[in-house]
Amino acid sequence: MTAGTDGAQARLMSVDYLRVVLAAFVVLAHSGLARETLRDGGAAGLWGLALGNSTLRVAVPVFTLIAGLFLGQVIRRGQISPWAGGLLARYAVWSGVYLLFLWFYYSERPLSLTLSELLLGFMHLWFLEGLAIAGIILAAMVRLGRGAVIGSAIVLGAAGLWLQYLRMAGLADVPVEHYRNGPLYLYPYLAMGWLMAQSPPRLSAAALWLVAGVGLAATVVESHAWLRRIGEEPLLEMPLGHLLLCPALLMLVMRWRAPVTDLPLGRAAAGIYVMHVLVLQGLPMLGIDHPGWGVILGIALPFALVWAVVAAGRRHRWLLRLI
């Protein structure tokens, strides 16, 4: 293996490490531990909650940016249909798992409401469906040219922000699923990741740190402003500052020559994302209701399960197709 290949592998490995950290952010956010810890303390607590919300919510945009980096190869090979179909299949399977696991809750709700949720994006699994839809849109725009990709990302991203601010300001009763979805939320980041792969930005580490700092500051200030205005519900989903923070963060991580490991980091991150809510919902049934244990086990159990399946060999590899 050449030095150049070693460097490329190290940079790709750094992205896999980042995926695990982002998955941990998702678990921490869904456990409620971060909110309970940061919300106390009066005015200082609002700033802490704004910082926590701004930081943990980078997970979805950065996951999407990473997908965009590699989606160009899928599009060039004409494989967007199996790529999107695989995501939708995983969405269907895991939605079925959660419906069975939480049958006691969903059996008491109107079927039409559950079907609506499945169509618009079910629980945290909406990301799988949304990413598939965003990928299909990107493939269509790529055929029209780079300008179409940029223009469509701006238009759809602006529409998503507009709907979000209508809801946040109380000017319209817009369900969150109408803007936190594939076309209006994920697609702009997917397009940005694709553009980064086509023309990698040539920015120094100092410039990237500056962009990330400005993006984080803008995000925290915006989140804090909404917290002061309308309280903690709903928390800001799509901050403007993330458009600076998230790509800068990814580019900084890609500059890190991470140690190579045989651990299935990418698969484990996906496993944590799809399975952690089963752990968070299941632990209280076992009498374990502290959110700290939820975070630890919500990360450790899916990671261990994926690792075990990978180590078991080819006869169990079909299970990995679900992740």
Query: What is the tens place of the pLDDT at every residue in 205-222?
Result: 999 999 999 999 999 999
User: pLDDT at position 6, please?
Assistant: 45
Average pLDDT over residues 112-124: 90
> Which range (136-140, 240-244, 311-315) has the least confidence?
311-315
What is the average pLDDT across 80-93? 95
| pLDDT for residue 105 is more than 90 | no
Q: What was the pLDDT predicted at 205?
A: 95
| HEC readout, the chain | CCHHHHHHHHHHHHHHHHHHHHHHHHHHHHHCHHHHHHCCCHHHHHHHHHHHHHHHCCHHHHHHHHHHHHHHHHHHCCCHHHHHHHHHHHHHHHHHHHHHHCHHHHCCCCHHHHHHHHHHCCHHHHHHHHHHHHHHHHHHHHHHCHHHHHHHHHHHHHHHHHHHHHHHCCCCCCCHHHCCCHHHHHHHHHHHHHHHHHCCCCCCHHHHHHHHHHHHHHHHHHHHHHHHHHCCCCCCCCCCCHHHHHHHHHHHHHCCCCCCCCCCHHHHHHHHHHHHHHHHHHHHHHCCCCHHHHHHHHHHHHHHHHHHHHHHCHHHHHHHHHC
Domain spans in the chain, listed from the N-terminal domain onward: 32-261
| pLDDT confidence of residue 32 | 83
What does the pLDDT look like over 190-201, one tens digit per residue?
A: 999 999 999 988
Of 62-66, 82-86, 106-110, 283-287, where does mean pLDDT reach its minimum? Answer: 106-110
Residue 316: which pLDDT band, with cuts at 50, 70 and 90? low
Q: Is the pLDDT of residue 8 over 50?
A: no
**pTM for this structure?**
0.91
Instruction: Please say if the pLDDT value at position 40 is more than 90.
Output: no
Q: What pLDDT is stored for residue 275 in this prediction?
A: 95
**Does residue 74 have a pLDDT over 60?**
yes
For residue 240, pLDDT over 90 is answered with: yes
| Predicted local confidence at residue 2, as pLDDT | 36
85: pLDDT confidence band, cut at 50, 70 and 90? very high
